[in-house]
Structure 1
Amino acid sequence: MTQSTLPIDRGPLVREDRVHTSLYRDPAIFEEEMDRIFASTWVFVGHESEVAAPNSFKTSSIGRQPVIVTRDKAGEIHVLLNRCRHRAASVCEGKSGKASVFVCPYHGWSYNLDGKLRSVPMADGYDADFDKADFPLIALRTESYGGLIFATFRNEIEPLADFLGPATRWIDLFMKQGAGFGVKVAGEHKFRFRGNWKIQLENTTDAYHFPIVHKSFLTSLDDETEELFDLLGQGGWVEDLGNGHSVIVMIPDLVDLDADPDAPIPERFRALAEELGRDHDETQVRRIVRAVGGSGFNLNLFPNVACSMSFFRILRPIAVEETEITHVALAMDGGPDAANRMRLRLHEHFQGPMGFGTPDDAEGWERVQRGSASGEDLWIMLNRGKEPFRGANTGDVSAETGMRAAYQMWKRMMTA
């Protein structure tokens, strides 16, 4: 290997309490991330409820590579590269739906939902040794946990449960918002912001910004709910869960939705409780109402998804200074219509495209990107809350522990 082709050591760009601004701006670093991170670890691609029935599909991506998540007629889930094996055309452009076969619109090669090549038009034009079995859609290693589907290009990688590690406990807690009915995807909206993907990765475990950036949201609430969203005043914490994952507990009383079933019903849910009481006993009503607002924490799963209180936030890197965000609303699978309507109204209020939270967050992210163009050799500071709060690997709720966790994983993968 000549000197000109030696890889650049990215390690010095990440220190214990800061990262270099070039991580937001350098196109060469971005290209390396697509290979060393997104093509080299477990990446979230969807929820099992989105492919609930046999012969169902949804399109997704791993970094910039388009994939199809399918459930075949036997009920098995697959993640397939969305690329015909003939001349590379995408074989599926639909967002989601049902199909028994994918047909390439360019030359008509067709594939089953398990990826097997089904038929080739005018096959007699190929050599005698042409075998359809040699040309399936490329299938990635795929595993699920708690209904979350992940895929990876690396067949030799550790099992998904090992990669998630202590985060599995928090996924289990997050899914309790199904209130015994299970959790399903109830809709989504996408938007793009002019900024690097890691800016958003930082945001999900950042409570420090909340009373400042989301002041307009807080002023839209009744007094009782505004007190609930005093995220810096409830004794919460941030915890490094390993492998870049982290959790920020903002409302400790809502970590376990099955705990404290006799807690008073908040005023904003009284009418809902009365409506639910027509068809459910008091214990069921309390459990459903407690779960409607979601869990009291955000779980960040490196590199691309957050289980954030009551929704999924998925990031997709587009370019070094452009990122796509998908906010996925969640509902109780088979749960009461009234409860699911309330969940959607709460989602719209903060996360929705006309809500209070999303526009303010996106404005902040874009300002970070713009500001990062200033200065020749400045660093992004991640030094808040370095003293342990509840033991090792934790900080108080305003600490930047989760960001430091993500960047140490970034450094590990980018220098492997």
Structure 2
Amino acid sequence: MNIALKEDDRDYAEWVGKDRVRTPVYSDPSLFEAEMEKIFSKTWVWVGHVSEVPDKGSFKTSWVGTQPVIISRDRKGDLHVLVNRCRHRAATVCEHTRGKTSSFQCPYHGWGYALDGSLRGVPYSEGYDETFDRSQFALKRLKVDVYAGMIFASFNGDVEPLEDFLGNARRWIDLFLKQGGGFPVKVNGEHQFQFPGNWKIQLENTTDAYHFPVVHKPFLQSLDSETEELFSFLGGDGFVEDLGNGHSVMVMMPSLIDLDGEGWEIPDRFAELAEQLRGRYDEDQVCRIVKAVGGVGFNLNLFPNVACSLSFFRVLHPVSADRTDIRHLALGMEGGPEEANQMRLRLHEHFQGPMGFGSPDDAEVWERVQRGTAGAPELDIMVNRGDGLEKPGPNGLPQGDVSAETGMRAAYAMWKRMMSQ
């Protein structure tokens, strides 16, 4: 199938084929604006984790597409997601990343809002006549729901139930969150960066094992032989599976799908940690904690903006057609042993950190993809690896080997569906 580029063609759904997409999907500003309206304003978007807003009065700023929002927990403990924009003259009412407060106040004219977004204070209110109704000027509220501690929000009041949207991905979310090692999972810090490229380049990366031995050769060389063998998963028994609704999972290490599974011996690299835990925990719990420290053996992509990857959340924030901001949220064990949480952070820094061996190399390649698409824009972006070689997975949806581009095709099928509406 050849997709011919037409200058005046704005039927964006036709820009995506079964095994390829048009190059301007990475660069067209009008397409980007349409994506914000047809995708990010219509479906469920991941905005945070409950551990980031644990108490009454807690708040966290986030994004739904290009729109700034505040996640807040009111005095009753209920969660709200509010547009971070004063209803008077549009100034943001919160500039802190996270914290605790009793209210939000606009810095321009002092309008004050409660944690649920309702308008509570208007300075010099005598300047408004009796027709002014405060109840009509609350911060804009989004629909909000939580699954397994993950907070999702939507501008669409008629959006399908969250559990239906997550569908087959729910099983994998539940498996991913077993890495608490018997303790609740918490966000244990984050770092942020940006790259000059389109958000879909990063979306594609999460379930792309094909690049791993090339891009991440320095990472593999930094490992001991036992761990290097674990991460040499091309040609192994792993797989990529379409989960529906744009979601997909890439299983790299099948033995680490279920962290509660038995038949696992503590690797040498974790022997010292295990010894530190003995005496405070029985051997089964020691094994469970240590196994959880290394993270799960799969990456889960949740359309359109978050990945549950090994041992962290990777959240993408589309800024423009050629700029994307990324948040990496390291995960820890709430109430778990400090030694285990420290080791999780060190492992996170080794690959995902700003001085790590993994994510900086990924970001370099993403930037080069964006730069390369300026050449020969009539050529197509290919996502055809494994096409024709897939088999039906447990849910009846396509499943390919670990290097297949099944996940990318799943995401673009959802993209096409939403852009057609």
TM-score (normalised: structure 1): 0.97
- Which residue of 1 is the match for residue 401 of structure 2? 396
Alignment of 1:207-286 (within 5 A): 207-260=209-262, 262-286=263-287
Q: Distance in 1 between matches of 2:279 and 2:97?
A: 38
Contact 1:243 1:409 in 2 (8 A): yes
Contact 1:234 1:252 in 2 (8 A): no
Letter in 2 for 1:394: Q
Alignment of 1:249-328 (within 5 A): 249-260=251-262, 262-328=263-329
Letter in 2 for 1:324: D
Letter in 2 for 1:195: G
Q: Distance in 2 between matches of 1:294 and 1:135?
A: 45
| Shift in CA distance, 7/114, structure 1 to aligned 2, threshold 3 Å | farther
**For structure 2, which runs of at least 5 residues remain unmatched after alignment?**
1-7
Letter in 2 for 1:406: A
**SS of match in other structure, 2:234:** helix
Matched pairs, number: 410
**SS of match in other structure, 1:149:** strand
TM-superposed deviation, 1:131: 2.0
- Deviating beyond 2 angstroms after TM superposition, the runs of 4 or more aligned structure 1 residues are 389-392
Contact 2:15 2:21 in 1 (8 A): yes
1:253-280 Cα deviation digits (max 9, x unpaired): 00000011x4210000000000011311
- Which residue of 1 is the match for residue 59 of structure 2? 57
Of the three residues 90, 97, 100, the one matched with 1:98 is 100
TM-superposed deviation, 1:46: 0.3
Alignment of 1:359-378 (within 5 A): 359-378=360-379
Contact 1:59 1:67 in 2 (8 A): yes
1:410 matches 2:415? yes
Contact 1:389 1:396 in 2 (8 A): no
**SS of match in other structure, 1:366:** helix
Contact 2:23 2:377 in 1 (8 A): no
Q: Distance in 1 between matches of 2:253 and 2:361?
A: 21
| Shift in CA distance, 376/352, structure 1 to aligned 2, threshold 3 Å | closer
Letter in 1 for 2:239: W
TM-superposed deviation, 1:135: 1.0
- Which residue of 1 is the match for residue 3 of structure 2? none
TM-superposed deviation, 1:11: 2.3
Contact 2:313 2:330 in 1 (8 A): yes
Alignment of 1:8-157 (within 5 A): 8-157=10-159
**SS of match in other structure, 1:231:** coil
TM-superposed deviation, 1:389: 4.4
Q: Distance in 2 between matches of 1:390 and 1:43?
A: 28
TM-superposed deviation, 1:388: 1.8
- Which residue of 2 is the match for residue 201 of structure 1? 203
Contact 1:83 1:89 in 2 (8 A): yes
Contact 1:196 1:317 in 2 (8 A): yes
Q: Distance in 2 between matches of 1:320 and 1:134?
A: 35
Letter in 2 for 1:315: L
TM-superposed deviation, 1:390: 6.0
**SS of match in other structure, 2:80:** strand
Q: Distance in 2 between matches of 1:234 and 1:8?
A: 42
1:305-355 Cα deviation digits (max 9, x unpaired): 000010000111111111111111000111100000000000000000100
- Which residue of 2 is the match for residue 3 of structure 1? none
Q: Distance in 1 between matches of 2:168 and 2:123?
A: 50
- Which residue of 1 is the match for residue 178 of structure 2? 176
Q: Distance in 1 between matches of 2:146 and 2:190?
A: 21
Letter in 2 for 1:403: M
| Shift in CA distance, 7/154, structure 1 to aligned 2, threshold 3 Å | farther
| Shift in CA distance, 213/7, structure 1 to aligned 2, threshold 3 Å | closer
Contact 2:145 2:153 in 1 (8 A): yes
Letter in 2 for 1:134: Q
Contact 1:16 1:404 in 2 (8 A): yes
Q: Distance in 1 between matches of 2:238 and 2:56?
A: 42
Letter in 1 for 2:334: D
**SS of match in other structure, 2:384:** coil
**SS of match in other structure, 1:232:** coil
Contact 2:16 2:22 in 1 (8 A): yes
TM-superposed deviation, 1:129: 2.1
Superposition CA RMSD, Å: 1.1
Contact 1:199 1:365 in 2 (8 A): yes
**For structure 1, which runs of at least 5 residues remain unmatched after alignment?**
1-5
TM-superposed deviation, 1:233: 3.5
Q: Distance in 1 between matches of 2:38 and 2:324?
A: 18
Contact 1:237 1:389 in 2 (8 A): no
TM-superposed deviation, 1:180: 1.3
Q: Distance in 1 between matches of 2:67 and 2:12?
A: 24
